[in-house]
Amino acid sequence: MAVKPSSPRKTMDVLLPVARPFGSGSLPDDLFLARWLGNMPASWVLLGLALWPTFALAQSGPDAYNAFEKLLRWIPFLFMQGFLFNVLISVLAMAIGTVLGTFMGLGLTTRSALIRTPVQIYVTFFRNAPWLVLLFIILLAFPFQVTAFGMVIPVPGWMKTVIGLALPVSANIAEVVRGGIQSVPTAQWEAAESLAFTRRQTMWQIILPQCVKRMLPPWMNWYAILTMSTPLCSLLGVNEVISLTRQAMEAEGNRPELLVPFYGFCLILFFLYCYPIARFTRSLERKFAVRS
């Protein structure tokens, strides 16, 4: 009986995963901003800074030099009284958001559904809520002063903005903490359990110390995002750099040729502050990358 020769064995081609566009069911990248800024060559940055005065002169017309002279008079005031206040708001909001987000992230990994469910609702709500809407709600819902033990304690607008920015940041930091904890191999948990460690001891003495370096790059990226979001406070009447810039332009006659020099100066301030953060974040990401 003749044996029919077998057909050659076919192998299935290995396909690379398709990169889905953002918004089509894919998860957002916590390091998108840092990668975008960090990958920008320093030569491009220097070229942009060098071309900015030329662009401002072209947009401002014949009165451009006068506009730059006015800007030079206001630069110390805008930097010291304005931009540094933006930095202070971002630092305070990030500090509150980090502390709150750390506990929320731990709540997302707990075994108790009574804790995990409300924490998940909190994180989901504030991660998907518009920041400006939250700021308006907190500005109008929070009292302007609190009376405690016969003392009247004022609650200024900038303090409300710190709380309003800290809430969405804490929700995103909670996801960073949860992702960092879940990135630790399960063998670490099993080894700790074999050594009779409690879950609390395992979390605080073994897991979290390993997570810090993995959570640091996305944490810094969210701080850069928060810093660039602080100009939203100007819509709430907080005297930060954008509000003071608008007041400075009004003091100088509010002429059209002042727009590009004054607002361009604000743009440069934020860029020069966030660009080194993005570069440092990229270097930390490469340094702490988990290699298989």
| Better pLDDT: 162 or 205 | 162
Q: Which CATH architecture has domain 32-287?
A: Orthogonal Bundle (1.10)
Could you read off the pLDDT of 186-221 as tens digits, one per residue?
Answer: 888 888 888 888 888 888 888 888 888 888 888 888
Task: Tell me the H-state helices in 61-207.
Answer: 64-77, 84-108, 113-127, 131-141, 157-183, 186-194, 199-202
| Better pLDDT: 56 or 112 | 112
Phi, psi (rounded to 5 degrees) for 87: -65, -40
- Residue 23: pLDDT band (50, 70, 90) is very low
- Residue 5: pLDDT band (50, 70, 90) is low
Average pLDDT over residues 30-37: 56
CB 31 within 8 A of CB 285: yes
pTM of the model: 0.75
Per-residue pLDDT, 41:
61
Residue of 170, 148, 171, 145 whose CA lies nearest to 157? 145
List the domain boundaries for the chain: 32-287
Per-residue pLDDT, 147:
80
Would you say residue 14 has pLDDT above 60? no
Per-residue pLDDT, 17:
39
Report long-range pairs for 288-292 (Cβ below 8 Å, ≥24 apart). 288/213, 288/214, 288/216, 288/217, 290/183, 290/214
Could you read off the pLDDT of 70-81 as tens digits, one per residue?
Answer: 888 899 999 999
